[in-house]
Amino acid sequence: MSPRSSRLVMLLGGVVGAILFAYAVDRAGTAEILNGIRRVGWGLLAILALAGLRFIVRAECWRLCVPPSTRLTRLQAFTAFLAGDAVGNVTPLGLLASEPAKVLLTRHHLATRESVSSLAVENLVYGASVVAMVGVGIAVLLATVPLPRAWFWIGIGTITAFVIGTLAVARLLRGTWDHERGERPRWRQRLAGVRAAVLGFSTDYRARLWRVFALDLLFHALAVIETFITLQWVLGEHALTFAQAVVFEALNRVVTVAFKFVPFRIGVDEAFSGALAAALAIDPAAGVALAVVRKIRTLIWSGVGLAIVAAHPARGAAVVASSTSQAGPTA
């Protein structure tokens, strides 16, 4: 994606997001949303701590996807992961910006090939955990909440889409190119490299992959806990079930994947959280307030990540150039 296209996508995403944000706030009520946010108060520190713990878990997943003979410390992995996530949040490229940033910020500790292959493995295992999380969330939703017919079929459609997507990725990883057709296109060469890295790692370090998957499930569990306590504070005296928190977090995973091109998913989180809250018989203002609190948390941690990039000017310049001109090493 060219710099001009990137800026255009960011602009359009920002405009649409602002419209959605205004709509969600107007429908839920500004006063109710602000009251919910005020109830969180100093609880924001606990929310930030849980988010930081989740970054540590994902960074550890990455370390486990690096061959044991290569040394990548926890601090190096954590700072690179945090900086990469921040770059992905502020640009419309998502993984296509965050993953090259991680590669660039660890290039003095890892060979580029090792960084690319380990991140590819980590992202694929994380993707499998997301499918599991969304499946659990939708199953809980369908089993515990009497939904309107439209929401029911949306849930069924989402599960179907994730299953089809998973099968498509599995098919691509098996390899589909006929060498009689000549040389592979560049994007298929990259995919072949990812496939070789994944298959090689899964053959040599199968036990590590299961540990990574277990840690990814822990990542989602921490996210559910964060959602649960945040909604408890936002709702005040109103009761909340843990099942509702699972459903909210499953929705958040879907929104994160589908709308990563919208910087900070402004407006998108608020609109979807408000709509889901209403479907779960919760005050829509609580759903919007939850999304706003998440946004504050993301902004703070993204600020830390961008500060890490800024602390290395030469690397920071390379990160910015990569995020606006590359298609990403794991495409």
Do 273 and 291 meet the contact criterion of CB atoms below 8 Å apart? Answer: yes
Is there a domain that residue 272 lies in? yes
Task: Give the whole-angstrom CA distance, residue 119 versus residue 103.
Answer: 9
Do 29 and 285 meet the contact criterion of CB atoms below 8 Å apart? Answer: yes
Burial class (CB in 10 A: 0-12, 13-18, 19+), 16: middle
Do 220 and 129 meet the contact criterion of CB atoms below 8 Å apart? Answer: yes
Taking phi over 0 as left and psi of -120 to 50 as alpha, with beta for the rest, 292 belongs to alpha
What per-residue confidence (pLDDT) applies to 82? 93
Is there a domain that residue 70 lies in? yes
Containing structural domain, residue 290: 3-325
Give the pTM: 0.81
**Encoding tokens for residue 104?**
């660039």
DSSP state of 264: G
Which residue in this structure is represented by tokens 């502020």?
90
Q: pLDDT tens string for the chain (331 positions)?
A: 555 666 666 667 667 777 877 878 878 788 888 888 899 989 999 999 999 999 999 999 999 988 887 788 899 999 999 999 988 888 766 667 788 888 888 888 888 778 888 888 888 889 889 888 988 888 888 788 776 677 677 767 777 777 787 777 666 656 555 555 656 666 666 666 666 666 666 666 778 888 999 999 999 999 999 999 999 999 877 778 888 899 889 888 888 877 777 777 888 888 888 888 887 888 889 989 999 999 999 999 999 999 988 886 544 445 544 444 443 433 3
Number of domains in the chain: 1
Is there a domain that residue 191 lies in? yes
Nearest C-alpha neighbor of 263 from the set 114, 112, 93: 93
Is there a domain that residue 330 lies in? no
Is there a domain that residue 142 lies in? yes
Is there a domain that residue 53 lies in? yes
Is there a domain that residue 175 lies in? yes
